[in-house]
């Protein structure tokens, strides 16, 4: 763990992963926490009164300077992003996120930050490695030769290089984590930015509550993914931050499923069976993506292990509670 008595700054703390990270750091005894997000405080997924909560636009260098003043440890989880529907239709907005990491790195250098973590993504991996549904897994070297997800993936890969060169040129201790499809409660489940597990849960719940037992699935349902529960994500993130490992590393589940199988699991949780309607012209991303965990097991003797069936049940229940509260 980072030094819990020095100032820890979580950027993007009003978002899904950032909110869970703040919650975990509090539980582990962090005495000085600063949470930063561009969203108004009332829109944060999790907010704690004993934390310094700031609303700042981290695309602007002066706001980054303010955010990192006095910081020893910085987690950069801030990004303008969402699920596949969002990132395929908002490439320019995703690319502008490069300003966040660039200005945070500049501010971190100015304030002599001791350690800086950048949250990258499996979207950095080359497209030609992901053409088949039956994919063995993407290892870290598969990011090059570079041909990442257009927009969002290019921004993440460029920002990884920025971290590397700030480490090499300026001595800033950077860490780079490549997340694979993180899901769980206290996150987006509607509005267009949600990812597949939350979207599927919402659709199944809507079908159950309405009595219209049908579901729209983007693509043909045969595309494959792995999904990592938030508790594994936070554990892997802090494990990397506390280590001396400096290269990009996968933090993701290796439990590969098709989108059809993801729907199967959600149906089993809900206790219903739905008629499936496939929207073949909808954004669906690459045909196959899975995490090769050879490196993380070698370096840390660990990999994400929470089963999709278990994590999705908790996620489903949280989304169900939110949706039924709204209808009361």
* Catalytic annotation, residues: 152
Q: What is the 3-class SS of 87-109, one letter each residue? A: HHHCHHHHHHCHHHHHHHHHHHH
Q: Give residue for tokens 């987690």.
A: 75
Q: Is the dihedral of CA 264, 267, 272, 273 positive or negative?
A: negative
Reduced to 3 states, what is the DSSP secondary structure of residue 77?
coil
Q: Which two tokens stand for residue 279?
A: 């929207």
To the nearest 10°, report the CA torsion of 50, 243, 248, 82.
-20
To the nearest 10°, the Cα dihedral for 60, 65, 68, 70? -170
Q: How far from 198 is each of 148, 178, 227, CA to CA, in Å?
A: 24, 20, 11
């Amino acid at each position: 763990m980072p030094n819990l008595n020095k100032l820890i700054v979580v950027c993007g703390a009003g978002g899904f992963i950032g909110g869970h990270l703040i919650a975990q750091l509090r539980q582990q005894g962090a005495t000085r926490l600063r949470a930063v997000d561009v969203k108004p405080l009332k829109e944060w997924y999790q907010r704690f009164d004993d934390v310094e909560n700031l609303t700042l636009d981290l695309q602007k260098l002066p706001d980054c300077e303010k955010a990192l003043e006095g910081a020893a440890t910085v987690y950069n989880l801030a990004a303008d992003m969402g699920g596949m529907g969002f990132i395929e239709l908002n490439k320019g907005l995703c690319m502008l996120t490069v300003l966040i990491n660039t200005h945070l790195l500049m501010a971190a250098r100015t304030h002599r930050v001791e350690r800086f973590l950048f949250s990258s993504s499996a979207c950095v991996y080359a497209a030609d490695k992901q053409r088949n549904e039956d994919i063995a897994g993407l290892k870290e070297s598969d990011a090059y030769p570079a041909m990442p997800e257009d927009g969002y993936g290019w921004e993440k890969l460029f920002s990884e290089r920025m971290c590397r060169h700030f480490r090499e040129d300026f001595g800033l201790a950077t860490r780079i984590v490549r997340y694979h499809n993180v899901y769980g409660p206290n996150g987006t489940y509607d509005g267009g930015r949600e990812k597949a597990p939350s979207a599927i849960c919402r659709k199944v719940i809507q079908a159950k509550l309405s009595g219209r037992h049908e579901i729209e699935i983007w693509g043909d349902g045969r595309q494959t993914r792995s999904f990592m529960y938030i508790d594994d994500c936070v554990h892997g993130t802090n494990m990397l931050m506390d280590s001396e490992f400096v290269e990009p590393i996968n933090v993701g589940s290796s439990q590969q499923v098709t989108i059809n199988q993801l729907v199967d699991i959600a149906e089993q949780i809900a206790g219903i069976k739905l008629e499936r309607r496939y929207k073949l012209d909808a954004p669906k991303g690459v045909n196959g993506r899975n995490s090769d965990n050879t490196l993380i097991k070698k370096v840390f003797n660990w990999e994400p292990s929470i089963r999709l069936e278990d994590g999705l049940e908790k996620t489903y229940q949280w989304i169900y509670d939110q949706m039924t509260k709204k209808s009361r």
